[in-house]
Structure 1
Amino acid sequence: MFLDLLRRRNPALLEAAATLHRDGKLPPNCYAIDLDAVGRNAAAIRAEADRLGLKAFAMTKQIGRNPDVSRRLVESGISHSVAVDLECGVAAASGGLRTGHIGHLVQIPRHSAGDAAALEPLYWTVFNDEKAREAAAAAQALGRTQDLLARIISPQDKFYRGHEGGFPADEVVAVADRLDALPGARFAGITTFPTALFDAEAGKVRTTSNLETLRAAAAALRAAGRTDIELNTPGTTSTAMLELLAEAGATQVEPGHGLTGTTPWHAVEDLVEDPAIVYVSEVSHLWNDSAYVFGGGLYVDPVLGSSHTSALVVNDAVERAPVLAVDMPAPEAIDYYATIPLDGRRVAVGDTVLFGFRPQVFVTRGLTAAISGISTGTPKVEGVWAANGAAPLSAHDVIARGRI
């Protein structure tokens, strides 16, 4: 789906990625990110968030926590990140994004609380009293008072399997009192995930029962005399969703795929955000009338369900490149290669292969590279980074350090 979107709305990214790969400046198994488009998308989200009085925290896991992108987000008005785990917070900070929210979806391990506190997060989500005590103690040790968000849950709420956990929503007033009583902590608000999901049949994003749980809990807190309550409302966030979330009482939103124009909604409707990411690979070898294409980052986020994947195989101009169906590795297999049945088409070893799909780079062996200057016709690779946002070591680096 997103390949068609790229061809229609951002062909310059495809052209730049193909040229830079052909020139040896982009390696295969690399997600190329259009910095100019990300900057426009971030500015649009920030402007709408400001209009509605919302705090916007950037989720960067899906783009491999790329530090060049983090810097562009800051330049475009989004100064803080949401850290899906501690490592995410550290990586985003290395690119200049301060930590807006940590501890959700992944809680902070006991002996890492001090590291999380050192990031000075604006908000820290806890699922239980034990985690609240750990966060409070770590903040107190640094002379800080940490704002805590309580993750709450009601029986009717829906979570992805493995994401469950939190305080019972009907006990939220007592939870707030307990968190306030902790030295080094203050109860600041509540959160859940997801508050919105894409409805494939309707072709729209709809709010979930989880959001209704947040609203009911906020009402209970207000009735108990608490008026300054943060509602953190992640899930399928784009400019088009912000007004609906604000009307529901949200105070915090967390755009992730909205920054690269790859939410499910973007796949079926032209929203404000431009598509800004493409997976770059290369033909490794030919066998039995199929092209074998380097993998490593071939994880397609299943949020849209199972679907066919296609790619452009480029050996001259992108606009003349055929769109070919791809046999993707099975989800349980190591993605050393994808295969492209050729049916007699002429393809050469080394040809560029461009994919458009919704990524989650941080769970892969993929690389990322931010490209500046696409909008001005002067594309430049700012750097190549590993899936965790770190600079990958080359063989020359290892040899120079005397490791082998």
Structure 2
Amino acid sequence: MFALDAEFLNNDPGGLHVYLDTTAARNPGLIRAAARLHAEDVLPANTYVVDLDAIKHNAEIMAREAQRAGIELYLMTKHYNRNPLVTHAALAAGIGSTVGVETADALYLSRFGLPVGHIGHLVQIPRGNLRSVLTMRPEVMTVFSVEKAKQVSDVAVSLGQVQDLLIRVRVAGDIIYPNEEGGIWEHELEAAARAIASFPGVRIVGVTTFPGTLFNPRTAQVEVTVNFAGLLRAADRLRALGFDIRQVNTPGASSAIGFDVVAKAGGTHAEPGHALTGTTPQVLYPQARSPEKSAIIYLNEVSHLFEGKGYVFGGGFYACDAPALIGDDTKYHTSEWRPHAFVGRTPETIMDQKVPVDKGSFFGRVNNATDYYGGTLVPDGPADIRVGDTVIYGFRPQAFTTRANVAVVENVDGEPRVLGIFDRALNLLDEQGYPLPDTVDRVRDLLAAAGR
């Protein structure tokens, strides 16, 4: 089904443990290209670097596998800060549409003429943003309450349209992560659905949860979570009440090796995000045979040395490393994460020196301090680290939460080409780092030239 390189499969059968190692094994050209472009002062510190060719590879595999399994995909774009070049490439490769995790996602997607398929999950749409979001004509919008459905209906009626809704269902025992609480309880579903059905501007067409699937490192497989069973019950109950339920949306560690799992369990939609950038947990375990290629690294620079540590510029450090707030997700925990970074001065030698990183500082804020610096280098022996050195990290990013740049590059194994460097607000930057005032026109021209 999938073609995987032998070198990757021959790595540590217990798992590579860190995304940096996976990237070095599966896409060393990306690391070398980033180091070269930084050494040449083309790419600045505090920049996520995305390999567009690897993005296309991953998207093509996922689109093909989803079609084979018989499910549809919404692409989660927040991990790479909703970059339009990356999103367009994934859609052009066959992924159906996008999911906006919050209002800002939808606004940035729409700004560049990209479609919004699903909006409102995991974050509800504020009342004042409903009009602008509904004019984007999303395929579905998730609601957590009758009250929010009424707000959506009122605005939809004023626009002369009907918005299809998914209900986020909650069941006792569900896995819920921090700051993701919310939804309609299973025992209140019938009453809530009847109330929503009375609103003229909305129509219930499905249900959703998170996480619906997760990767189990002990079995090396994507598996359905406890949430999935409750979601299926909810869908059946709504159908029995006469609702035309067309979506059973089950995001969670979505990737090519899990689409069959979703389909066979009764799901209709998955929402890959980290799979596009090759940063799902399953890529750490060669025995999982996950085909997605590493497509993103985080580039930074040594600011200064002090008391045996190397301090690196802050602003972009974030990694997904939180256990469930409610419910038991322990069987899905991967091996303990041990952050490291490659440190060097040339693309030829960048991977020769791998330095441990202080895990606390990696998350940007220590003792509630401003993250002026982060990802502190703490060598456990003699190390050649100098001010201005290139530092490259590999981890599961949430770039939309940071103030980092995103650079999109191609041809990393040859003469690397930078297609654009974007700031946190998705403005293209000029050579001096200033935002270009005609960003939207420039990007739309790039997308038109790329075609679809």
TM-score, structure 2 normalization: 0.83
Which of 242, 247, 250 is the equivalent residue of 1:230? 247
Residues 298 and 396 from structure 1, CA distance in 2 versus in 1: closer, same or farther, beyond 3 angstroms? Answer: closer
Please give the alpha-carbon distance, in whole angstroms, between the structure 1 residues aligned to 2:107 and 2:431. Answer: 23
Counterpart check, 1:32 vs 2:49: yes
Counterpart check, 1:177 vs 2:194: yes
Amino acid paired to 1:76: A
Please give the alpha-carbon distance, in whole angstroms, between the structure 1 residues aligned to 2:349 and 2:393. Answer: 12
Residues 335-350 of structure 1 mapped to structure 2, 5 A cutoff: 335-337=371-373, 338-342=375-379, 343-350=381-388
Q: Which residue of 1 aligns with 2:290?
A: 271
Q: Which residue of 2 aligns with 1:308?
A: 338
Please give the alpha-carbon distance, in whole angstroms, between the structure 2 residues aligned to 1:273 and 1:177. Answer: 42
Q: Which residue of 1 aligns with 2:327?
A: none
Unaligned runs of 5+ residues in structure 1 are none
Q: Which residue of 2 aligns with 1:205?
A: 222
Residues 78-227 of structure 1 mapped to structure 2, 5 A cutoff: 78-227=95-244
User: Which region of structure 1 is more displaced relative to structure 2, 347-356 or 256-265?
Assistant: 347-356
Please give the alpha-carbon distance, in whole angstroms, between the structure 2 residues aligned to 1:256 and 1:388. Answer: 20
By how many angstroms is 1:242 displaced?
0.5
Q: Which residue of 2 aligns with 1:382?
A: 419
Kindly provide the CA deviation profile for residues 224-275 of structure 1, in whole angstroms up to 9, marking residues without a partner as x.
Answer: 3445431111111000000110111111110000101111111223411101
Q: Once superposed, what is the RMSD of the aligned Cα atoms? A: 2.3
Please give the alpha-carbon distance, in whole angstroms, between the structure 2 residues aligned to 1:394 and 1:32. Answer: 16
Residues 314-329 of structure 1 mapped to structure 2, 5 A cutoff: 314-316=344-346, 317-318=348-349, 321-328=352-359, 329=361
By how many angstroms is 1:156 displaced?
2.1
Question: SS at the partner of 1:186?
Answer: strand
Q: Could you tell me whether the CA contact under 8 Å between 2:223 and 2:258 is conserved in 1?
A: no
Which of 289, 298, 311 is the equivalent residue of 2:308? 289
Q: Could you tell me whether the CA contact under 8 Å between 1:300 and 1:360 is conserved in 2?
A: yes
Question: SS at the partner of 1:302?
Answer: coil
By how many angstroms is 1:112 displaced?
1.4
Kindly provide the CA deviation profile for residues 320-364 of structure 1, in whole angstroms up to 9, marking residues without a partner as x.
Answer: 521111124164423322322344322222111111111111111
Unaligned runs of 5+ residues in structure 2 are 1-17, 323-333, 438-452
Residues 69-84 of structure 1 mapped to structure 2, 5 A cutoff: 69-84=86-101
By how many angstroms is 1:305 displaced?
7.7
User: Which region of structure 1 is more displaced relative to structure 2, 194-203 or 42-51?
Assistant: 194-203
Please give the alpha-carbon distance, in whole angstroms, between the structure 2 residues aligned to 1:396 and 1:348. Answer: 24
Q: Could you tell me whether the CA contact under 8 Å between 1:152 and 1:169 is conserved in 2?
A: yes
How many residues were matched structurally? 399
By how many angstroms is 1:129 displaced?
0.9
Question: SS at the partner of 1:98?
Answer: coil
Q: Could you tell me whether the CA contact under 8 Å between 1:79 and 1:98 is conserved in 2?
A: no
User: Which region of structure 1 is more displaced relative to structure 2, 199-208 or 61-70?
Assistant: 199-208
Residues 96 and 15 from structure 1, CA distance in 2 versus in 1: closer, same or farther, beyond 3 angstroms? Answer: farther
TM-score, structure 1 normalization: 0.92
Please give the alpha-carbon distance, in whole angstroms, between the structure 1 residues aligned to 2:351 and 2:71. Answer: 44
